[in-house]
Amino acid sequence: MAYLEWLRARVGTRKVLLVYTSVCVMDGYGRVLWQHRTDFDTWGLPGGVLELDETLPACAVREVYEETGLHVTPTRVVGVYSSPDFDVTYPNGDQAQQVSFCFACRVDGGTLQADGHEGYALQWLPATECPPTQPWYRAMLADYAANQPFASFDRGAPGQNRASAPYYQFLRPYIGQAPYIMAGTAAFIQNEAGHILLQQRRDNGLWCFPGGGVELGERVDQAMIQEVWEETGLQVQPSRVIGVYSDPVDWITYPNGDQVKIARTFFACRITGGRLQADAVESLDARFFPPDELPEMIAPHGRALQDALANHPYTVF
């Protein structure tokens, strides 16, 4: 059973956070592929909901093949789109706040053909031309055309203050301890000496980057800013997206048995204020470490650390 079908069977039409991929498929003439969607009867980019057992790039490749018949390879991360401005209510009443990871992809083969299920028709258009479509697709096209090396992340309003009760507390009564896909964040923060900020987790005693889950009503960068403030007492601003991650190592079972698969956006940040102090709720400690004297970290943050230290001139995936 597909993840979305499984989740909707439990939560009904209630608003949930869903992780999607969208794809700007490019041909040799600089054109972008659009599909005429069957759900909204308007044009959109190929894409769909991330499954539990796949990575974000794999989801992008699968969705393009299913909807267009083309084999593609992702070449860069265009952006992450998560503003409440992009909330969607489907014709059947299902509500979602989307966290959409948009990839640019090149065509490697296949035969172009609309699937007739999610799309009526397909058309190639210049990157400067946008058909009638939803606002998030317009934002994706604009960022694709800008051709920046780092992923966009601040399209749309940042959202309201987060709810008093976290999203997982809303969701767990419907799904129990079963795994769900969480949109997560983490922050790479250095002080003037180049030392790296880590927090020591209360649940397992290991060290990690500050961060946490995106809540309903907030954009992904705002979620990161709020999590850093709550956990470390520091005020930060993101400067770029280092990478997006959804590898098997990002499937976590917490000490209480709850399971989650995380699609994480990893930000480089600068400190703008505050005073370093662990919150004593989620964090036992928070301190800066020299890059060559880091403590043992949780497994999902290992690759992110390598990418941050490598200082790639683009967003990795």
Question: How many domains does the chain divide into?
Answer: 2
Indicate if 203 and 295 belong to the same structural domain: yes
Structural domain ending residue among the three candidates 86, 112, 146 = 146
Same domain, 176 and 306: yes
Of 79-88, 89-98, 129-138, 153-162, the range with the lowest mean pLDDT is 153-162
Which of 111, 146, 181 delimits the end of a domain?
146
Residue 195 forms part of a structural domain: yes
Whole-angstrom distance, CA of residue 183 vs CA of residue 190:
24
64 and 133 both lie in a single domain: yes
Q: Is the pTM of this model over 0.85?
A: yes
**Domain for residue 69, yes or no?**
yes
For residue 298, being part of any structural domain is answered with yes
The answer on 173 and 113 residing in a single domain is no
Residue 66 φ then ψ, to 5°: -65, -35
Q: How crowded is residue 89: how many other Cβ atoms within 10 Å of its Cβ?
A: 11
Distance CA 62, CA 56 (A): 10
**CATH number (domain holding residue 67):** 3.90.79.10
Between CA 82 and CA 99 the distance in angstroms is 4
**pLDDT by residue (tens digit) across 107-124?**
999 999 999 998 899 999
Q: Kindly state whether residues 46 and 176 are assigned to the same domain.
A: no
Whole-number pLDDT of residue 203: 79
The whole-number pLDDT of residue 82 equals 98
Round the average pLDDT of the chain to a whole number and report it.
95
Judge whether 2 lies within some domain.
Answer: no
Tell me whether residue 5 is in a domain: no
Q: What does the pLDDT read at residue 218?
A: 95
Looking at the fold, whether 30 and 130 belong to one and the same domain comes out as yes
Both 141 and 213 in one domain: the answer is: no
Domain that holds residue 83: 15-146
| Tens digits of residue pLDDT in 12-31 | 999 999 999 999 999 999 99
Same domain, 176 and 303: yes
- Write down the pLDDT at residue 280: 79
What whole-number percentage of the chain has pLDDT above 70?
A: 100
Same domain? For 139 and 173 the reply is: no
pLDDT tens digits along 129-185: 999 999 999 999 999 999 999 999 999 999 877 767 899 999 999 999 999 999 999
254 & 131 share domain: no
Residue 317 inside a domain? The answer is no
pLDDT higher than 80, residue 197: yes
Would residue 297 count as lying in a domain?
A: yes
Q: Are residues 185 and 276 in the same domain?
A: yes
- Same domain, residue pair 199 and 140: no
- Position 257 scores a pLDDT of 95
Residue 6 lies in a domain: no
